[in-house]
């Protein structure tokens, strides 16, 4: 499978699990209505696990521009591939959001809270304070990327036996990608971040996860939707990139 297709599919899987859980908890007349934050954070973690486990063999399953930029900043991924990965991730996130809307279409129609409807697509801070929101997203993404840099499994092989990405360590080429063996700890990392730092902003920690569904929210024919809140949209895009690059900088400093 081409790596860009894998990034589209992997990011779509992530959004279907994550935003699907948000819709199940927040929208009216669902079986999971009101079941709470634990359900949402668990589903995001499981979504990461499934996406990485299935797509890691084809692309390394970054499924997050902050991860892609972080790996490139640490010298572990080619900068020439970064724009293509990011575009694929945003497309995948938009597709995943579309599938969530299709699955919960009747429940979107049965809900009239515009904020909750937007929350099923993109993040909204509970207290709107751009500097604080930026810091929260940056810290969360810093921990995500820093954790990933130490959780990944060097030497991971693709389906044809080739190394997906290679770096030189002590003169020897080894593979570098999240890979299937790293899927569970990365999923648990995302779950933990949701429990610990998700409260203020809804923990986007992923520009594609927020931007793709926000674009889809603006396009979908949801009769009772409100604004897509573009005034806030730069925070969950810019802050994770900054956090990912800072994590890469610390990783290089400690290496």
What does the domain layout of the chain look like in residue ranges?
3-249
Q: What residues contact residue 39 under an 8 Å CB cut-off, 6+ apart?
A: 21, 24, 25, 32
Q: Do residues 52 and 10 make contact, with C-beta atoms less than 8 angstroms apart?
A: yes
What CA–CA distances, in Å, run from 92 to 26, 42, 89, 96, 145? 23, 21, 5, 6, 20
Element holding 173 (H helix, E strand): strand 172-175
- Mean pLDDT within 72-89: 93
Among candidate residues 46, 48, 14, 21, the one with its CA nearest the CA of residue 36: 21
Helix, coil or strand: residue 161: coil
Count of alpha carbons within 13 Å of 248, Cβ hemisphere only? 18
Q: What is the pLDDT of residues 223-254, one digit of tens each?
A: 889 999 999 999 999 999 999 999 999 999 99
Domain 3-249 is classified in which CATH homologous superfamily? Glycerol uptake facilitator protein. (1.20.1080.10)
Residue 159 pLDDT > 60, yes or no? no
pLDDT grade, residue 8 (50/70/90)? very high
pLDDT of residue 113 exceeding 50, the answer is yes
- Report the pLDDT value the prediction gives residue 163, as an integer from 0 to 100: 43
pTM of the predicted protein model: 0.90
Residue holding tokens 């895009």?
237
- Given this model, what pLDDT does residue 120 score? 98
| Residue whose pair of structure tokens reads 């993404």 in the numeric block | 141
11-67: per-residue pLDDT in tens? 999 999 999 999 999 999 999 999 999 999 999 999 999 999 899 888 888 999 999
| pLDDT score for 56 | 84
Higher pLDDT residue, 206 or 167?
Answer: 206
């Amino acid at each position: 499978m081409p790596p860009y297709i894998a990034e589209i599919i992997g990011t779509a899987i992530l959004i279907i699990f994550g935003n699907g859980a948000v819709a199940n908890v927040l929208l009216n007349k669902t079986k999971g209505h009101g079941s709470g934050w634990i359900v949402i954070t668990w589903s995001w973690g499981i979504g990461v696990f499934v996406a990485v486990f299935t797509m890691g063999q084809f692309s390394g399953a970054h499924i997050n521009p902050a991860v892609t930029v972080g790996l490139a900043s640490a010298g572990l991924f080619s900068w020439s591939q970064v724009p293509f990965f990011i575009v694929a991730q945003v497309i995948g996130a938009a597709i995943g959001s579309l599938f969530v809307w299709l699955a919960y279409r009747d429940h979107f129609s049965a809900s009239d809270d515009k904020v909750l409807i937007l929350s099923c697509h993109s993040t909204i801070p509970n207290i709107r304070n751009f500097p604080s929101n930026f810091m929260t997203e940056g810290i969360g993404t810093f921990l995500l990327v820093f954790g990933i840099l130490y959780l990944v499994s060097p030497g991971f092989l693709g389906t044809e036996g080739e190394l997906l990405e290679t770096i030189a360590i002590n003169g020897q080429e080894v593979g570098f990608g999240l890979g299937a063996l790293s899927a569970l700890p990365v999923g648990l990392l995302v779950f933990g971040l949701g429990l610990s730092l998700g409260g203020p902003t809804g923990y986007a920690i992923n520009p594609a996860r927020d931007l793709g569904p926000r674009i889809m929210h603006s396009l979908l024919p949801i009769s009772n939707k409100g604004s897509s809140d573009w005034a806030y949209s730069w925070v969950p895009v810019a802050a994770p990139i900054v956090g990912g690059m800072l994590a890469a900088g610390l990783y290089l400093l400690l290496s």
